[in-house]
Structure 1
């Protein structure tokens, strides 16, 4: 045990003797950090999570090696048209006219346009190559001629695939269709993730505006629209959540502080902590992402707690008629240690996230930890100095004080409610702890079955927004979001868009005679998640390119036949000759999309069932990859997202382990140093374990998965949970060391500190719980679980900690050991 009070007294003396200087110094620092706010950039979407993933690297290899259909400079826009019959003459003219307007605007960089309407027009007039000519062909044809041409054109399965599943060829009717416009735009890349800075965003946003003003029911869909909505949802969520949180928090703070000037000081301190944190982000060039939307509420949670404790403890001294300077000196001396313990453990809880393999989670952990450190300085130094300085000015100018009674004052109704834990500790502490321990273990075991998920839909707004959101005035009213609706519509109404695919990236000597047979046999007896056709997996590969071209070119077909030993249409000999002929043919572009120039790598694409689970798809992809005797890696969006989902789960476990170990070591060390009682660190951990167990069980019960944001909640629960229990344990130790008996020390602790904790809990659970109204599901889930975490931590701190302290005292105090057996 060291004499830490010397250093604490020096800090207190500096604050109470130089309050004006301290306030001025912090305002200067705020100006410095404020300069960094202008440097903050945004990074939205899923691509930030997929970077450096092995599955993503394999997908990037596929994109790089098989470039023709995956040019990094190409992109496409889908035009989704709905009508009573999209094959009618007016509907097809609407599609062609919109495509023509797009093609006429050079800055939209459109290179080609295709649609069912275009094919029907060319069926009417085979010489109609341009959109203008195709429009003329349709306009000059009679409805019966158009109907006959549409019936003929849709006999082609590829054309029919652009029509919705309700297409009836006999009546030539369909309720929706898809038109495609291709673009050449530098800087586009293929990846499993979607970024908020897609070069297609501006193009597709303008096309969307064109479609909206046109007299037709055509919607625009593509990567640019997705990127735009992913980016806009951040600002819309902030505009929605922050005012609501501020309103709720302000209301509770009015009740907690009951003094307008104290309330103003608390709000100024909160704003200062947020400015410092986000200014640091700008200066450190850390982009703002969906993950970091949760940082301001977290800072509010800890800041409100610190502020209420500081003002409440000061008031406890002032109601004893102690002068302001010695009252604040006592407050600083007692709370600076508690704040230090809370800050240390909270920072460790957040920093545990830097062990994650995912960059956004690492950034979140770093920014949150730095923010909590800033909060410690603002509320541990600035607020006491500002409070004392203002009170001195009040006294000087005769400004009255309002509501100066501390929360949970002795004898009040709140104090009686807060004493429940003390009553349990006085009557049956050991029996109660046994019940709590068993319940925690059961809840934690149940919680191990919580789902993990990662998908683009986690970050997108829901298909239908709550009705009240559209009733909000500007600028709080969120924008119109269409991506989720269009994704669901395409999946539900177009067979070609249902399901996903697994790509095998295969490296090896493809000139060997058995290589194509091996690829062909890999599709036999496909796994359950793969789409099956004639007992084979539905697939496209260099084998299917060879077979399709052989069906078109008799000379090439003869070459294949001469080298096909078993007559199954797959060549077994002279493969290099076949590849050479294929690469010199009209389908060379298609061939190069499945086979590299050196004939040493290929890709195989398998279609999977639309309702298959990620886990099953990935497992089946590995099964098929293992059938190949070459180096085969399963990749594709589904595989990449499953890999990220697994990483998220492992990150959560690793962060929890690191946070628990680091927090335990810190608490044991700090209580030994400060109080000479390392076992108090163990006491401090008990309520945290209880809240963690019940939190995990609640997440599974309420169906909240561990996703990109909620995965951080376990380490956050430690950081924020320690906040509550540390205040209780340290206040108890402080009271106990002054000579109070056990029962009186606990009573003073729960009535004084418990009052501030109650105000903090009510304020922060509502302030963080308001995230539930955020537009993105992932933020709403995070708000709910964080609010639950704080509530459980509060209950555990005030109900579980007192009985734990009683048992601790019985086990560590020699004079209590003899009577411990009769305590229960």
Structure 2
């Protein structure tokens, strides 16, 4: 470490200059960062449900839909029909929209003299105007399963315009354009926006708003705490500059590698504020401590680097492993990306804290002796703090067994609630209960069965009666199931045409008859969305509500798969299931597996590091006490307050390990040094609490309050994430300053 300290001091100006240059260059590339809020891309492309959904999207002109729901006292009024027709025609012109379905362009199969007629339910060039005509239209539309509760509600108060988005199109842009068109139309009716496309539009908007607002608010809070703690320029500005640089470097590298910002990687800047700031604070604290002893500036820098670099390095490397564990332990690509770039950001924060920070400190004008005597608080406040730490030291020495017992009781209670932690991948629950998205989703659930499409891909000769019969069996089974609504396929159209022709509502018994009927509907937009041009593949599509309980979704999927295996003739057809509900179910399973695997990998590595650091299995186990305590406290808190495991909160475990390892490494390193120096437990503990303990407390308070700013986010998972990280900081800091010294002292008493 002597070589490093001399290098930093000797080349301090080039280090500062080069650091600013690197920051400026990488900051330039951040402007090219884009946002990816498409949840289907969060799973690997090789995932079976994802590959099937992408295939369906390519074959049938899209996988995502944007739903515009129009609510009126009476949908079948002249003015409302005109506005629906106007919007339908406008939406069809949007680049990326493959099909638009509404009352004014949906297919209609009518019986006429001499046979049947295939037309539109409403002629867009001759809209009904007469009251009697509108009443007849209403009665007719509500009498047919093809329209009732699919495109218009049974009470005729809500009508849907459904836009299907072409594969590869920009869903966010299209959703934004749709909203702009509706705004320009000056609708008198109430309008809801539902469906996946509007969900990701809102997520994208909130991500941008949060990045702009919450990081600034978090920094203001942290600046306030640092100022109250240090009362100096470098004590406030340097931690922020170092963290800012590490954030810029990480995001700049992301941009250069064309990695997009997601709901998960959006958290990286705040993670670096939490974890990265600690390294700088420890360096500054040691610097001030040495300054209070009367050392000159050069000696302050060299001693600070020599004594702090090793614990900072160990903290950084173990924290990085906590994040790298996501690479090996997560099935979700988005969480792997989070792990990679969080670890990279931690590496940058470490490098900056041991080079740039001491280089800056070496150039600052030395303070007067009376100013450096109390290095982190005002003179009066510092005296009170030191007296308080003396009291804490005496109390811990006297009550170390009680401290351990209290810790064990909290852990046992936490385990009870850990078992109650729920999971939730319902995207609508990411928004506040009074948000437009939640209100629209609830309306769609109540009136139309949901706004999430599911697809059953059927492979076979679609014009063969046997194939259609197998499809009908599956469709009827789907219709009988709870939480899946309005299954629709080419079978419905074939049977309706057959019924109009007087043959009954059944599937024709020959390919020729089916071919004759098919000729009448070939080329219709609705048919093109249900059957591929070669007539070798078709889909049964249905709608589902968002599932709050992923176990119910899994159970439904298993039930449908079991029916297919036992009742569908696979020699005639092959069936594959996909859709966003099943994507969410896979994501839920991946979240649970990611949590378990990443925690196991991180804990094992951290334990090995602690054993190597202390050269003792017992001391290594003692060193991870704050981590274990924090993990149990966090997940117990989640279980007690019913905070679910989701894309954001799944990160808390490994972040807790990253934060949790930093404090005990610094604490045990200083405590061991003081025990050797003084050979007095009380003096060693008191000195450690007044120095390293003070730095830990400053970091805990600053970051805890900074993360509580996330409770102002419009995304519920980020609100919960902020609360959980704040609890993590509090638990980890408290355990390090109380449980850890108690355990160390108890072991010393027995050896």
**TM, length-normalised to structure 1:** 0.78
Match of 1:457 among 399, 407, 428: 428
**Offset at 1:225?**
3.8
Match of 1:413 among 364, 368, 384: 384
Moved more, 791-800 or 252-261: 252-261
**Offset at 1:802?**
0.7
Q: Report the equivalent of 1:687.
A: 626
Change over 3 Å in CA distance of 1:602–1:228 after alignment to 2? closer
Matches within 5 A, 1:255-266: 255-266=228-239
Q: Report the equivalent of 2:269.
A: 296
Matches within 5 A, 1:420-459: 422-423=393-394, 425-430=396-401, 432-459=403-430
Q: Report the equivalent of 1:488.
A: 442
Change over 3 Å in CA distance of 1:515–1:613 after alignment to 2? farther
Q: Report the equivalent of 1:626.
A: 562
Change over 3 Å in CA distance of 1:344–1:602 after alignment to 2? same
Q: Report the equivalent of 2:12.
A: 19
Counterpart-to-counterpart distance in 2, 1:679 and 1:223: 52
- The alignment partner of 2:432 has SS state of coil
Residue 658 in structure 1 maps to residue 601 in structure 2 = yes
Structure 1 residues 178-199: Cα deviation after superposition (integer angstroms, max 9, x where no partner): 345678x6734xxxxxxx7556
Match of 1:54 among 38, 48, 51: 48
> Contact between 1:62 and 1:505, CA under 8 Å: does it hold in 2?
yes
Q: Report the equivalent of 2:114.
A: none
- The alignment partner of 2:482 has SS state of coil
Counterpart-to-counterpart distance in 1, 2:72 and 2:27: 53
**Offset at 1:56?**
2.2
Aligned length: 733
Structure 1 residues 195-249: Cα deviation after superposition (integer angstroms, max 9, x where no partner): x7556245424313323x4565545556554443222211111222122112111
**Offset at 1:374?**
0.7
Structure 1 residues 100-143: Cα deviation after superposition (integer angstroms, max 9, x where no partner): 5666x6879787663379999x9xxx9999977435x52xx3x4
- The alignment partner of 2:691 has SS state of helix
Change over 3 Å in CA distance of 1:521–1:272 after alignment to 2? closer
Larger Rg: 1
Counterpart-to-counterpart distance in 2, 1:767 and 1:285: 29
Gap runs ≥5 in structure 2: 111-117
- The alignment partner of 1:44 has SS state of coil
Change over 3 Å in CA distance of 1:22–1:248 after alignment to 2? same
Q: Report the equivalent of 2:69.
A: 80
Residue 71 in structure 1 maps to residue 64 in structure 2 = no
Match of 2:584 among 617, 641, 657: 641
**Offset at 1:639?**
1.8
Q: Report the equivalent of 2:115.
A: none
Counterpart-to-counterpart distance in 2, 1:808 and 1:617: 50
Moved more, 410-419 or 431-440: 410-419
Counterpart-to-counterpart distance in 2, 1:578 and 1:403: 98
Q: Report the equivalent of 1:564.
A: none
Counterpart-to-counterpart distance in 2, 1:551 and 1:761: 73
> Contact between 1:530 and 1:607, CA under 8 Å: does it hold in 2?
no
Q: Report the equivalent of 2:113.
A: none
> Contact between 2:56 and 2:457, CA under 8 Å: does it hold in 1?
yes
**Offset at 1:9?**
1.5
Change over 3 Å in CA distance of 1:624–1:273 after alignment to 2? closer
Q: Report the equivalent of 1:92.
A: 81
Q: Report the equivalent of 1:795.
A: 734
Counterpart-to-counterpart distance in 1, 2:640 and 2:356: 43
Counterpart-to-counterpart distance in 1, 2:454 and 2:85: 34
Structure 1 residues 616-669: Cα deviation after superposition (integer angstroms, max 9, x where no partner): 233233223223353654433212211111111110110100100111112222
Counterpart-to-counterpart distance in 2, 1:297 and 1:540: 46
**Offset at 1:433?**
2.5
Counterpart-to-counterpart distance in 2, 1:33 and 1:110: 39
- The alignment partner of 1:290 has SS state of coil
- The alignment partner of 1:178 has SS state of strand
Q: Report the equivalent of 2:365.
A: 391
> Contact between 1:96 and 1:131, CA under 8 Å: does it hold in 2?
no
Counterpart-to-counterpart distance in 1, 2:542 and 2:377: 65
> Contact between 2:84 and 2:102, CA under 8 Å: does it hold in 1?
no
> Contact between 2:417 and 2:637, CA under 8 Å: does it hold in 1?
no
Change over 3 Å in CA distance of 1:179–1:524 after alignment to 2? closer
> Contact between 1:529 and 1:612, CA under 8 Å: does it hold in 2?
no
**Offset at 1:257?**
1.6
- The alignment partner of 1:738 has SS state of helix
> Contact between 1:93 and 1:117, CA under 8 Å: does it hold in 2?
no
Residue 552 in structure 1 maps to residue 544 in structure 2 = no
Counterpart-to-counterpart distance in 1, 2:151 and 2:400: 70
Counterpart-to-counterpart distance in 1, 2:617 and 2:506: 85
Structure 1 residues 118-169: Cα deviation after superposition (integer angstroms, max 9, x where no partner): 999x9xxx9999977435x52xx3x4654455445544444443677572xx
Counterpart-to-counterpart distance in 1, 2:320 and 2:546: 43
Q: Report the equivalent of 1:375.
A: 349
- Aligned alpha-carbon RMSD (Å): 4.1
Match of 1:114 among 80, 84, 102: 102
> Contact between 1:422 and 1:803, CA under 8 Å: does it hold in 2?
no
Change over 3 Å in CA distance of 1:502–1:197 after alignment to 2? closer
> Contact between 1:258 and 1:404, CA under 8 Å: does it hold in 2?
no
Counterpart-to-counterpart distance in 2, 1:514 and 1:77: 34
> Contact between 2:595 and 2:650, CA under 8 Å: does it hold in 1?
yes
- The alignment partner of 2:521 has SS state of coil
Counterpart-to-counterpart distance in 2, 1:421 and 1:297: 32
**TM, length-normalised to structure 2:** 0.85
Q: Report the equivalent of 1:171.
A: none
> Contact between 2:508 and 2:514, CA under 8 Å: does it hold in 1?
no
Moved more, 632-641 or 381-390: 632-641
> Contact between 1:113 and 1:181, CA under 8 Å: does it hold in 2?
yes
Match of 1:29 among 18, 22, 26: 22
Counterpart-to-counterpart distance in 2, 1:133 and 1:582: 26
> Contact between 1:765 and 1:788, CA under 8 Å: does it hold in 2?
yes
Counterpart-to-counterpart distance in 2, 1:320 and 1:391: 16
> Contact between 1:683 and 1:808, CA under 8 Å: does it hold in 2?
no
- The alignment partner of 2:415 has SS state of helix
Counterpart-to-counterpart distance in 1, 2:55 and 2:97: 27
Counterpart-to-counterpart distance in 2, 1:604 and 1:99: 24
Counterpart-to-counterpart distance in 2, 1:738 and 1:622: 65
> Contact between 1:201 and 1:223, CA under 8 Å: does it hold in 2?
no
Q: Report the equivalent of 1:586.
A: 521
Counterpart-to-counterpart distance in 1, 2:653 and 2:609: 18
- The alignment partner of 1:412 has SS state of helix
Structure 1 residues 512-558: Cα deviation after superposition (integer angstroms, max 9, x where no partner): 998776666667888985369xxxx9754566565444323457989
Q: Report the equivalent of 1:768.
A: 707
> Contact between 1:421 and 1:802, CA under 8 Å: does it hold in 2?
no
- The alignment partner of 1:669 has SS state of helix
**Offset at 1:341?**
1.3
Match of 1:745 among 666, 684, 691: 684
Residue 777 in structure 1 maps to residue 713 in structure 2 = no
> Contact between 1:349 and 1:715, CA under 8 Å: does it hold in 2?
yes
> Contact between 1:259 and 1:403, CA under 8 Å: does it hold in 2?
no
Counterpart-to-counterpart distance in 1, 2:507 and 2:69: 43
Residue 177 in structure 1 maps to residue 148 in structure 2 = no
Counterpart-to-counterpart distance in 2, 1:775 and 1:386: 38
Q: Report the equivalent of 1:471.
A: none
Change over 3 Å in CA distance of 1:746–1:576 after alignment to 2? farther
- The alignment partner of 2:624 has SS state of helix
